[in-house]
Amino acid sequence: MNLLEGKTALITGAARGIGKAIALKFASEGANIAFTDLAIDEKEKSLERELEGFGIKAKGYASNAADFNETHETVKEIMNDFGRIDVLVNNAGITRDGLMMRMSEQQWDQVININLKSAFNFIKAVTPVMMKQRNGSIINMSSVVGLSGNAGQANYSASKAGLVGLAKSVAKELGSRGIRANAIAPGFIITEMTGTLPENVREEWEKKIPLRRVGSPEDVANVSLFLASELSSYITGQVIPVCGGMNM
């Protein structure tokens, strides 16, 4: 349908998992893709070629999303290369799990900086661009644990809850300029990280999900496409769980 034809999407942490699925989905709908990762090696170069197979322009940028100055320099490079940024997907994220009583300051700071501060960095950098265009869609990749909390993931849950509050605040600040901001809260999604869980653990999780299956990165990518496109032109400041009903 080419729902994103002529648009440029910036996706952080797009080399694998959910971020990669979003990049491929957007490219299949006509969007040019700029994506970031800590380093651009053969995996990222391979993704560039795969995306270009859809007949669009794609380029990866080595960038530490948690570094304020580096983030702004990256956005400048993207603007020089693409000329516009219509969609921002704040997808970069890590886990450093542990019970609160044993969690180190480093574990806390790493997760908050990469998961939450990075979103602030990129939103801050793209806001002047989108304000000038008087149009834009910002998508923060939260999590169901950002809505409910989770034992052993205080840092991760806090960072993902912060992404919800950030999206809602940005929606209120920038809505009059035609810029929308929303969050997606994935549940149990099979990625490289969750794919290593033992089969019995996965089965226990599935029992808690009303749809009785785990999700795929493509499930999240489909909702991302909806929020990035004009199909959601009257939706902002919202959180959409993609979790098979496990948050009920």
32-84: pLDDT as tens digits:
999 999 988 888 999 999 999 999 999 999 999 999 999 999 999 999 999 99
List Cα–Cα distances, 45 to 60, 170, 180, 214, in angstroms: 7, 33, 31, 30
- Asked if the structure places residue 44 within a domain, the reply is yes
Domain of 142, CATH number, reads 3.40.50.720
Burial of 57 (0-12, 13-18, 19+ CB in 10 A): middle
Name the catalytic one among 156, 167, 180, 183. 156
Specify the DSSP class assigned to residue 191: S
- Asked if the structure places residue 1 within a domain, the reply is no
Q: Which helix (H) or strand (E) holds 158?
A: helix 154-174
- Asked if the structure places residue 37 within a domain, the reply is yes
Structural domains in the chain (count): 1
The pLDDT tens digits along the chain (248 residues) read 799 999 999 999 998 999 999 999 999 999 999 999 998 888 899 999 999 999 999 999 999 999 999 999 999 999 999 999 999 999 999 889 999 999 999 999 999 999 999 999 999 999 999 999 999 999 999 999 999 988 999 999 999 999 999 999 999 999 999 999 999 999 999 877 666 667 777 787 788 899 999 999 999 999 999 999 999 999 999 999 999 998 88
- Asked if the structure places residue 3 within a domain, the reply is no
- Asked if the structure places residue 247 within a domain, the reply is no
At residue 17, the pLDDT reads 93
- Cβ 182 vs Cβ 220: under 8 Å: no
Q: Which helix (H) or strand (E) holds 200?
A: helix 199-207
Has 156 been annotated as catalytic?
A: yes
Strands (DSSP E) contained in 46-174 are: 58-62, 87-90, 136-141
Find the domain containing 67 and state its range: 8-242
